[in-house]
Amino acid sequence: MSVGVKRGELNAMFGFAERAMHSVRRYWMWEVVWLFYSMVSVLSIGFLASGLGTLGAGGVGFDLRRAQLYLLIGSLLWGYLSLVFMEAAYAIAWERWEGTIEYTFMAPIRRTTHLMGICLFAIGYGLLRTFLVLLAAIAIFNLDFSHADVAGALAVLAASTLPLIGLAIFTSVLPMVSPQKGEQMSFAVQGFLLLVSGVYYPLTVLPVPLQVAGYASPLTYTLEGMRQSLLSGATVIDELPNVLLLLAMGAVMIPAGVWVFSWAERRAKRLGLLKRSG
């Protein structure tokens, strides 16, 4: 790829993110509503953890503060991950709804550029919103991160970006496959990931078939790594196995996601599904 082409692709990638930012600005009231919803979801999990003692949980060796942090990390990360999935799937569904998808698909750019532009915005936007919710959670629950290794947690978070992009691309395929039900199908996929990825409980409590699905989910290793670093102070070195595994998953999932999306695009062009009414 020549320098000019690379610059053009980067420009287009920025174009997708810029368009999404314009959209956030135009729909700012809705953004406030969604931020409120994210906060309420995370805070309710925090309060649920606070009430565990009164519900009879506990006993010798039960650390309520640790349990609360465990659940809040799950809730915060899940909020972030589900937001990225939703943004990626919504970006395609929204284009279908507005009828602009044909114009986007007519543009002389690589599909990878298109999908990366969508995913990078989704990740940046998800991180910002999650950070705001985290600040609220720290203020309300007086969270103790004194044992945390922030560098280790950030290494896991950074490595998780690759498989997350892969998963987001897979999610964005759904509105291409089914114009009517694709967006709803992405919620079903999200729900399954929530079930098997150890967001609120360890994988060991699941039946074996679900555990197997859980071990195939990159979210499992993201959550595990983040908890190890934030609860037990695992360093970057300690996190290397998780980091390498996440990078390897990303190396497989991104090309696989782009391939599946290209297949869905070819199918849509064969069947005439790109048209708004289709």
Partner 1 sequence: MSTPAIEIHGIRKSFQRRERDPGAPWWRRDLREKVALHELDLVVERGGVTGILGPNGSGKSTLVRILATLLTPDAGTALVFGWDVMRHAREVRRHVNRVSVEASFFKELSPWENMVYAARLYGGGDSGTRAHVSSILERLGLPLDTLDQPMKQLSRGQQQKVAIARSFLTAPSLLLMDEPTTGLDPRSKKEVQAMLEMLRAEREVTVLLCTHDMGEAAALCDRVLMMDSGRVLADGTPVELCERHESLTLEDVFMQLTGKAFEAQEEGEAEEEAGGVVAP
Does the protein bind partner 1 through residue 204 (CB under 8 A)?
Answer: no
Q: Identify residue 257 by its one-letter amino acid code.
A: G
CA nearest 159: which of 253, 96, 78, 66?
253
Binding flag, residue 102, partner 1 (CB under 8 A) = yes
Footprint of partner 1 on residues 246-275 (CB under 8 A)?
266, 269-275
Closest CA to 164 of 234, 83, 244, 73: 83
Is residue 22 near partner 1 by the rule CB under 8 A? yes
179 binds partner 1, rule: CB under 8 A: yes
Q: Does 209 bind partner 1 (CB under 8 A)?
A: no
CA distance 273 to 187: 21
Query: Exactly one of 12, 69, 167, 173 binds partner 1 (CB under 8 A); which one?
Result: 12
Among 41, 50, 104, 112, binds partner 1 (CB under 8 A): 104
Instruction: Name the residue nearer to partner 1 (CB basis): 117 or 126.
Output: 117
Q: How many Å apart are CA 144 and CA 131, to the nearest integer?
A: 16
Cα 256 to Cα 80, 216, 242, 244, 251: the distances in Å are: 23, 15, 21, 18, 9
Judged by beta carbon, residue 65 or residue 269, the one nearer partner 1 is 269
- Binding segment (CB under 8 A) for partner 1, from list 122-130, 147-155, 178-186, 210-218: 178-186
Residue type (1 letter), 218: P
Closest distance to partner 1 from the beta carbon of 247 (Å): 30
The residue among 94 and 187 lying less far from partner 1, judged by its C-beta, is: 94
Contact region with partner 1 (CB under 8 A), list: 19-27, 118-126, 129-137, 158-166: 19-27
Of the listed pieces 104-112, 156-164, 213-221, 225-233, which binds partner 1 according to CB under 8 A?
104-112
Which residue among 19, 31, 211, 260 contacts partner 1 (CB under 8 A)?
Answer: 19
Q: Which of residues 82-101 bind partner 1 (CB under 8 A)?
A: 94, 98-100
Residue 4 or 61 having the CB closest to partner 1: 4
Site for partner 1 in 131-160 (CB under 8 A): none
When the beta carbons of 20 and 219 are compared against partner 1, the nearer one is: 20
Give the whole-angstrom CA distance, residue 190 versus residue 184: 10
CB of 188 to partner 1, least distance (A): 14
18 touches partner 1 by CB under 8 A: yes
Q: Which residues bind partner 1 (CB under 8 A)?
A: 7-8, 11-12, 14-15, 18-19, 22-23, 26-27, 94, 98-100, 102-110, 177-181, 266, 269-278
